Structure 1
């Protein structure tokens, strides 16, 4: 996990990781407190709500392109019967790569996707840079995720609209990412979940389903990703709003976070939690929040005040 420091409510580390799925059961007194504190949602005996129906999204295809320049929707999944990357052995990691190869090959065949699987150990430094691959961070080394790097790490990508990429044995067993330069969140969400559900079916048929816990939903190594494992990020061009003294309060009320990027005046806005709301509800939360931030930026551009636009506390 990473800690981001700055003026705004950027993503915050939960300070711990799980070695395997059973850790959430064996050490529930500890992990439940961490999860409830981080996500702001009480764990109950009820099964977490789930909704993959992208038709229920409203306004995901009409963000103002003058401000919204890119979007990314990603999801993490753990695989049953294997330790998480923080604790898995070299043999387990290689088995996970074999499973991913089989499942992705079926995805290519049944969906006619022109995908390619690239092993990190076969990539040149230049190829790794093109794929935005960095050397393991100090945090990854410290928690064991980078053990035996780059053995059995791989990336699968398909060059079509939606920019689908699957990371294997990186920070989690699997991370699916759909990126769009037109900031069409609905299409990115659709691409991600259509292919995720296919992979879920294939992994089940391989007798290694994705890891699910009755009270938590989908679980992986980080308590910050339980529930849906879903992250929605929109890159916004903002000049005035980042300097406003009410921004931190606004972000907290909208339950979203904002962080700087490598580009000046370009900020990444994303969901603060993954647990407590369905996939569609989380995505809608970010969409509505982004639209309000854009409205505030436009108001400030015109010399106006944003006070009446500040939402009531949720």
Structure 2
């Protein structure tokens, strides 16, 4: 079996106590990791390690460094982590996504952007901007928390080849972080170093070595290499035409996947998990769609939290409000983006009612 081929962590000769002695303090920790982890589960995972040397403490470290309530609280060190530590990861996925992993249920994919209904007709007074992103990891390479310098540099070499071919039909340019800062210096833009949280958990080790950004000439697509995952495609727009952003990501993701496969570096896929990436929060489709909106009345309303829960949306507040999908698994890419489009349209309708001091009970969706 796959699990049987993995190394026992005793071969690593780790100097540590018993599981009871090593069990982490989870007081005040509100991550999904902390919700599912107890001494019994910790003991079961304690003496396991993947072939690349990922142990259970490596996986839960992010949640110990950042115990916030919205965090998933763990990161896989490689694709094998999801198999070897499946008892833990399956429960985290269920807690975060409200989705039960079942071996015989295959994660479906739909990157046909024509299947998305609407998303190009938001009221610009309320809907300000949008972004669609998708992440992928490459087969047989460790994920960012555990990757070596050599692996990271190999991945950059592969990306350079793939993106050079992509640029032949969709012109763009690849920048190292130093080149990017030099290019943007005249515009007064300097790329900040990664946040300390990413440094603490090892994602940003050796920064900026082998990190890069490809930007299309028309500005509709950016592709990050070796950041929080091996590859991240992002389409950001200064309007709320999420349909266009979704199309830009889908079209070029399909092309990039074919190019990586041609180079014998396919993206990691497991039938019951979908696209396998470092964070369980992005497993399945790897996709996040967000729309930034102005909702001053609704934002202060006591029923907002319940509304967001029903619509399966997450809200990040600044001077405006960024709404995005909560789940990334159990639905297709089109279905997840449709959920955001439909949810935002409904919230804008409710905001307009509130401006007139009108009731909006007739607009409320059923509890999901």
For normalisation by structure 1, the TM-score amounts to 0.92
Q: Which runs of 4+ in 1 moved over 3 A?
A: 1-5, 121-126, 128-133
Structure 2 equivalent of residue 288 of structure 1: 342
Structure 2 equivalent of residue 154 of structure 1: 212
CA drift at 1:130: 6.6
Paired with 2:240 and 2:179, the residues of 1 have a C-alpha distance of 32
CA drift at 1:180: 1.7
Paired with 2:174 and 2:119, the residues of 1 have a C-alpha distance of 30
CA drift at 1:75: 0.1
Instruction: Tell me the SS of whatever aligns to 2:123.
Output: coil
Structure 2 matches for 1:77-92, cutoff 5 A? 77-92=136-151
Structure 2 equivalent of residue 226 of structure 1: 283
Contact 1:94 1:152 in 2 (8 A): yes
Structure 2 equivalent of residue 15 of structure 1: 73
Contact 1:121 1:151 in 2 (8 A): no
Structure 1 equivalent of residue 312 of structure 2: 255
Q: Structure 1 pair 293/37, CA: closer, same or farther in 2 (3 Å)?
A: same
Query: Which string of whole-angstrom CA distances, capped at 9 and with x for unpartnered residues, describes residues 157-187 of structure 1?
Result: 01326x2000000111000001122211111
Residue 71 (structure 1) aligned with residue 130 (structure 2): yes
Q: Structure 1 pair 27/62, CA: closer, same or farther in 2 (3 Å)?
A: same
Q: Whose radius of gyration is greater, 1 or 2?
A: 2
How many aligned positions are there?
303
Paired with 1:54 and 1:205, the residues of 2 have a C-alpha distance of 24
- RMSD of aligned Cα (Å): 2.0
Structure 2 equivalent of residue 8 of structure 1: none
Structure number with higher relative contact order (C-alpha < 8 Å, ≥ 6 residues apart): 1
Unaligned runs of 5+ in 1: 6-10
1:203 aligned residue (226, 245, 260): 260
Structure 2 equivalent of residue 101 of structure 1: 160
CA drift at 1:307: 2.6
Q: Structure 1 pair 123/186, CA: closer, same or farther in 2 (3 Å)?
A: closer
Query: Which string of whole-angstrom CA distances, capped at 9 and with x for unpartnered residues, describes residues 240-270 of structure 1?
Result: 1100000000000000011113xx2x11000
Paired with 2:289 and 2:190, the residues of 1 have a C-alpha distance of 18
Structure 2 matches for 1:294-313, cutoff 5 A? 294-313=348-367
For normalisation by structure 2, the TM-score amounts to 0.79
1:121 aligned residue (158, 161, 178): 178
Unaligned runs of 5+ in 2: 1-61
Query: Which string of whole-angstrom CA distances, capped at 9 and with x for unpartnered residues, describes residues 259-313 of structure 1?
Result: 113xx2x110000110110000001000000001100110011111223322210
